[in-house]
């Protein structure tokens, strides 16, 4: 018996050893709390979650699951895989609804609640969050199309980053700068294949909600942090909001509010139930 065959056998025996119905493999440590909240909403589902050290390593497990060697579930950021046609069709592979877990963690409702919490204010007009979310999302529509096209073409360009600071109106601003966005657009546009740009544009649903779902998660999270900090300043309050602090509070909010009225609830519960059923077949 080869080492490879032995390792597969050992992996398939781990759920029995751990006395769980399923082992769910995820990308990294930060993904574990999110996916726990998602999977724990399924009644009587006994599982454990194990991080694999990143998307590249997780994809190796996904390949084993797809080929029928490994009977487990993988839960992964969808990135741009659905846009580029590279997403797995295996029911045991569960994807985020948007680009990443952050796109589910940070919705208009959650940002409204998180802003009130961090700013310690019981009242905050929901329209403030809604209007900012819409303006921010629509400001990056053109760059998002380029970012998807860049991924599909494999050109290796840097379009959007993990932080939005390069595109904002000021050092601490939460408002996108139209000139900076336009400059980046003009820089990138001539470097991408025109036919792929047209293909992406044709299938892209250009509305604020869809853009907020599709944009890079860390990029979005960095903007949310700026927005909350600016709202605190407007209330003459000083807060210290780290990325870890924001993430932790967002996970807490998700845990208490991920129910059938959550805009992403149907996607995740349907996907998880399908994965669980496929595991049994």
Please state, rounded to an integer, the average pLDDT across all residues of the chain: 95
Give the start-to-end residue ranges of the domains of the chain.
3-97+266-280, 103-257
In the predicted structure, residue 161 carries a pLDDT above the cut 60: yes
Give the closest residue to 258 by CA, choosing from 157, 110, 131, 148.
110
The answer to whether the pTM exceeds 0.85 is yes
Rounded Cα distance between 62 and 90, Å, is 9
pLDDT digits (tens, 9 = 90+) for 231-244: 999 999 999 999 99
For residue 281, the tally of other CB atoms under 10 A from its CB is: 7
Among left, alpha and beta (phi > 0; psi -120 to 50; other), residue 236 is left
Write down the pLDDT at residue 204.
82
Summarised one tens digit per residue, pLDDT across range 102-115 is 999 999 999 999 99
| 3 state DSSP class of 53 | coil
Q: In what order do the strands lie in the sheet with 22-26?
A: 47-51, 22-26, 73-76, 93-95
CA 165 – CA 133 distance, rounded (Å): 16
Task: Please check whether residue 76 is in contact with residue 62, taking contact to mean a CB–CB distance below 8 angstroms.
Answer: yes
Distance CA 181, CA 125 (A): 28
């Amino acid at each position: 018996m080869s080492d490879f065959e032995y390792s597969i056998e050992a992996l398939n025996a781990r759920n029995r050893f751990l006395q769980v119905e399923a082992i769910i493999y995820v990308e990294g440590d930060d993904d574990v709390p999110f996916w726990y909240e998602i999977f724990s909403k399924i009644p009587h589902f006994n599982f454990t979650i194990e991080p694999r050290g990143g998307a590249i390593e997780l994809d190796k497990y996904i390949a084993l699951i797809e080929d029928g060697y490994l009977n487990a579930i993988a839960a992964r950021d969808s990135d741009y895989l659905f846009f580029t046609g590279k997403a797995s069709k295996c029911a045991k592979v569960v994807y985020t609804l948007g680009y990443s877990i952050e796109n589910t963690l940070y919705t208009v409702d959650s940002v409204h609640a998180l802003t009130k919490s961090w700013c310690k204010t019981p009242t905050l007009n929901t329209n403030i969050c809604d209007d900012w979310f819409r303006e921010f999302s629509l400001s990056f529509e053109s760059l998002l199309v380029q970012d998807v096209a860049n991924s599909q073409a494999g050109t290796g360009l840097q379009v959007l980053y993990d932080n939005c600071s390069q595109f904002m109106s000021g050092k601490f601003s939460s408002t996108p700068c139209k000139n900076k966005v336009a400059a980046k657009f003009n820089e990138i546009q001539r470097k991408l294949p025109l036919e792929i740009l047209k293909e992406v544009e044709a299938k892209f649903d250009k509305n604020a909600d869809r853009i907020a779902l599709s944009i890079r998660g860390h990029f979005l999270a960095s903007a949310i942090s700026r927005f909350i900090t600016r709202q605190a300043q407007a209330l003459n309050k000083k807060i210290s909001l780290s990325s870890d602090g924001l993430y932790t509070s967002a996970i807490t909010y998700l845990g208490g509010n991920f129910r059938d009225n959550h805009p992403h609830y149907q996607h995740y519960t349907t996907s998880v139930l399908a994965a669980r059923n496929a595991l049994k077949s």
